[in-house]
Amino acid sequence: MSQLRFKVVETAFDRKALKVEIPKERPTDYYGKYVFNRKKMFEYLPKKTYDALVYAIDNKEPLNREIADSVAAGMKQWAIDNGAKHYTHWFHPLTDGTAEKHDSFIEHDGKGGVMEEFSGKLLVQQEPDASSFPNGGIRNTFEARGYSAWDISSPAFIIDNTLCIPTIFISYTGESLDYKTPLLRALNSVDKAGTAVAQYFDPSVKHVFSYLGWEQEYFLVDEALYAARPDLVMTGRTLMGHESAKNQQLEDHYFGAIPSRVEAFMLDLEIECHKLGIPAKTRHNEVAPNQFELAPIFEETNLANDHNLLLMSLIADVARRHNFRVLLHEKPFAGINGSGKHNNWSLGTDTGVLLFAPGKTPKANLQFITFVANVMAAVYKHNGLLKASISSATNQHRLGANEAPPAIISMFLGSQLTEILDKLEKSTKDELISFANKEQIKLGLSQIPEILLDNTDRNRTSPFAFTGNRFEFRAVGSSANCASAMIALNAAVAHQLTEFKASVDKRVADGEAIEHAILTEVKALITFSKPIHFDGNGYSDEWKEEAARRGLDCETSTPLIFDAYLRPESVDMFAKTGVFSEVELKARNEVKWEIYTKKIQIESRVLGDLATNHILPVATRYQSLLLDNVFKIKSLFPADRGAKIAEQDLSMIEKMAEHMLVIKKSVREMIAARKMANKIESEREKAIAYHDTVYPHMDVIRYHIDKLELMVDDEMWPLPKYRELLFIR
């Protein structure tokens, strides 16, 4: 064992050999090199095709077949000119990550050879023939084959000599089988609903866009050490490992310089991102050792999400080039911070107004307050659903741990915005009327821009925080597809805006002045949404009690959290916004429960195997060394003296025996619990059983293994320890 350990360190990265090929061109020259963006479209497509395609993209209209053939021809030529040999429909299945099926461009040419072929048929949506496919239960529908079609709002790109076409993935019966389809539906609904409300303030608004700026946190570990940790390889997190003596307590990593080996990796990654049109901008160390962050400039949500998914596969590849492995798991190491993926989210109009940013005029500020109040109401009404949208078997380790938001959704607004909302809420009818008549002084609305500009008020403990011109949804996990959160959030806000508009329109129809109608409704929303607003310490136990008193969703069991998708108010909201049918919601929840079960099942198996095959044998061997020692001492020394000298060893032997007994017993019980759970038919009940009866054993087993780690001879310990994994040399 000790030799293996030695070898591991020897094969670790050689810093002197570190080389990144820095392109001679400037980023502006290679940015988007491998993206079929408008510039390439213009270059490769006939003018008529280019115009039709751009029109379809801008107006969210489908491509017709003739145009599609012409687009496909140009796209193929561009791809081949850039070394592509294959193409793939790139889509986002309900499992983690992305899926691809590669096909070569070649077709028979009828003369015994091949030609390069890529038709419009392969790009755009094909008419499905629903009648020829069975449509049994929900599961059948869900498992039925589907078809994919290019999402023209997201440009094609080339990776590893393959043309990747971002696509939606739908079953033959029309149900979405992916994340992209419902995301596009949610973005459409928030566009419609947002535009209708924004037109109160500016009738020339034609579209409202949703923007997303994600901040991806991750850990890096040395490739060789990673390979020696079966738990990391199989589950993405360490299932055991005692805290190292030095952790993040000095907080020196966050402020520290980026290690040069990591810097080389980051530079390489950024260059790759830029070539693929991902606007990577910010990089820094995070709080925990070996933890880092990458953030791009925000983009329209659908594109931003494609870019995040692309980044998640890119980062893994680039890390390997540098003999690193990247860990995107939310909690790879116990006892130190986990990783999140803050979703900075905002809405903006096609006229260039950010709707969560205060404006320069009272009217603009009324618009700002209107949109903020509607977001508050949406988040309040759907707090359980929003939590479900970010919940997973992996994120459950992070939420509620010391460094991450609790498993309760609340909203941070900051003192200045709070003050403005309070004023508005307390204003009398007369004051509202006077504001509506543009005598806004009493409400202080005209002062908003100045005050909010220096809003440096940052509360890191809030899962959903207002940060000056956007909201930051911080509860999203680092390995998640942001679409899940963005679907729920945009749909909930769209639904709320539609209801708001209906109420305002009714008042106006009854003869109220429009500004007054808006203010009255906004005031009502502020009062209604009070329980969601919390600026205090989200990590505290008092908050958990307070949140329960306020009626916020405090469920902590992930399988039960998923129930929120099927509550009547969620089903209604998703139906009205056209984002999910009830059939889709049910089917998708089945998948969520199934994935939950499988993840815990795999972890539990790996832990059981490691305990039985790695830890217990080594502990036994060390224990028997100690026993041997005791025997020898006792045979050499007089009885009294011998007993005294052997005392420590004996006590160690006994302590080890106790830990080993608990481990053996718990592994046995865990396996029995798994067997019971596996017999359950219902995916929901099975997931609950895994959560309630399998998972608790894992904590117990880990606790006792970690104790043994501190006792057993370091040379014998079979796994790299935290101190080795966590400090990059």
Q: Does 341 bind Mg ion (CB under 5 A)?
A: no
Least distance from Mg ion to the Cβ atom of residue 395, Å: 17
Cβ contact 422:413 at 8 Å: no
Least distance from ligand ADP to the Cβ atom of residue 400, Å: 21
| Distance between CA atoms of residues 404 and 340, nearest Å | 8
CB closer to ligand ADP, 171 vs 344:
344
Q: Which helix (H) or strand (E) element contains residue 342?
A: strand 341-349
Q: What are 562's strand-pairing partners?
A: none
| Distance between CA atoms of residues 424 and 429, nearest Å | 10
What is the distance between the terminal CA atoms of the chain, rounded to a whole angstrom? 22
Look at the block and give the residue holding tokens 């195997």. 609
Q: Does 344 bind ligand ADP (CB under 6 A)?
A: yes
Residues 535-594 that bind ligand ADP (CB under 6 A): none
Q: Which does 371 bind (CB under 5 to 8 A by kind): Mg ion, ligand ADP, none?
A: none
| Distance between CA atoms of residues 226 and 726, nearest Å | 11
Cβ contact 122:72 at 8 Å: yes
Q: Which of 342, 398, 550, 614 binds Mg ion (CB under 5 A)?
A: 342
CB closer to ligand ADP, 215 vs 272:
215
CB closer to ligand ADP, 299 vs 603:
299
Q: Does 464 bind ligand ADP (CB under 6 A)?
A: no
| DSSP-assigned letter for residue 178 | B
Q: Does 470 bind ligand ADP (CB under 6 A)?
A: yes
Q: Does 295 bind ligand ADP (CB under 6 A)?
A: yes
| Amino acid residing at 609 | D
- In this structure, the number of other CB atoms found within 10 A of the CB of residue 335 comes to 16
| Amino acid residing at 276 | L
Q: Does 381 bind Mg ion (CB under 5 A)?
A: no
Cβ contact 87:105 at 8 Å: yes
Q: Which stretch binds ligand ADP (CB under 6 A): 5-13, 170-178, 248-256, 339-347?
A: 339-347
Q: Which does 282 bind (CB under 5 to 8 A by kind): Mg ion, ligand ADP, none?
A: ligand ADP
Q: Which of 104, 161, 260, 282 binds ligand ADP (CB under 6 A)?
A: 282
Q: How far is CA 126 from the centre of its chain?
A: 31
Cβ contact 481:179 at 8 Å: yes
Least distance from ligand ADP to the Cβ atom of residue 270, Å: 14
Q: What number of chain residues touch Mg ion (CB under 5 A)?
A: 1
Q: How is residue 540 written in tokens?
A: 């505290």
Cβ contact 627:633 at 8 Å: no
Q: Which does 295 bind (CB under 5 to 8 A by kind): ligand ADP, Mg ion, none?
A: ligand ADP
| Distance between CA atoms of residues 702 and 607, nearest Å | 8
Q: What number of chain residues touch ligand ADP (CB under 6 A)?
A: 14
| Amino acid residing at 246 | K
List the one residue out of 471, 365, 345, 466 whose CA is nearest residue 413.
466
CB closer to Mg ion, 92 vs 342:
342
Q: Which of 179, 201, 211, 473 binds ligand ADP (CB under 6 A)?
A: 211
| Distance between CA atoms of residues 237 and 698, nearest Å | 13
Q: Which stretch binds ligand ADP (CB under 6 A): 101-109, 264-272, 296-304, 666-674?
A: 296-304
CB closer to ligand ADP, 75 vs 486:
486
Q: Which does 13 bind (CB under 5 to 8 A by kind): ligand ADP, Mg ion, none?
A: none
CB closer to ligand ADP, 178 vs 293:
293
Q: Which does 346 bind (CB under 5 to 8 A by kind): Mg ion, ligand ADP, none?
A: ligand ADP
Evaluate the CA torsion angle 521, 524, 530, 535 in order and state its sign. positive
| Distance between CA atoms of residues 321 and 226, nearest Å | 14
Close Cβ partners of 468 (under 8 Å, ≥ 6 residues apart): 357, 452, 453, 455
Q: Which stretch binds ligand ADP (CB under 6 A): 51-59, 141-149, 207-215, 704-712?
A: 207-215
- With left for phi above 0 and alpha for psi between -120 and 50, is residue 34 left, alpha or beta? alpha
Q: Which stretch binds ligand ADP (CB under 6 A): 83-91, 208-216, 237-245, 397-405?
A: 208-216
Measure Cα distances from 681 to 69, 216, 299, 366, 688 in Å: 48, 37, 43, 53, 12
Least distance from ligand ADP to the Cβ atom of residue 333, Å: 22
Name the closest residue to Mg ion (Cβ).
342
Q: Does 329 bind Mg ion (CB under 5 A)?
A: no
CB closer to Mg ion, 342 vs 721:
342
| Distance between CA atoms of residues 535 and 421, nearest Å | 14
Q: Which of 151, 191, 215, 223 binds ligand ADP (CB under 6 A)?
A: 215
Q: Which of 80, 287, 354, 514 binds ligand ADP (CB under 6 A)?
A: 354
Residues 657-716 that bind ligand ADP (CB under 6 A): none
Pairing of β 299-300 and β 157-159: unpaired
Q: Does 210 bind ligand ADP (CB under 6 A)?
A: no
Calculate Rg over the CA atoms of the chain: 29
Q: Does 455 bind ligand ADP (CB under 6 A)?
A: no
Least distance from ligand ADP to the Cβ atom of residue 307, Å: 11
Q: Which does 297 bind (CB under 5 to 8 A by kind): ligand ADP, Mg ion, none?
A: ligand ADP
Residues making contact with ligand ADP (CB under 6 A): 211, 213, 215, 282, 295-298, 344-346, 354, 469-470
Q: Which parts of this chain interact with Mg ion (CB under 5 A)?
A: 342
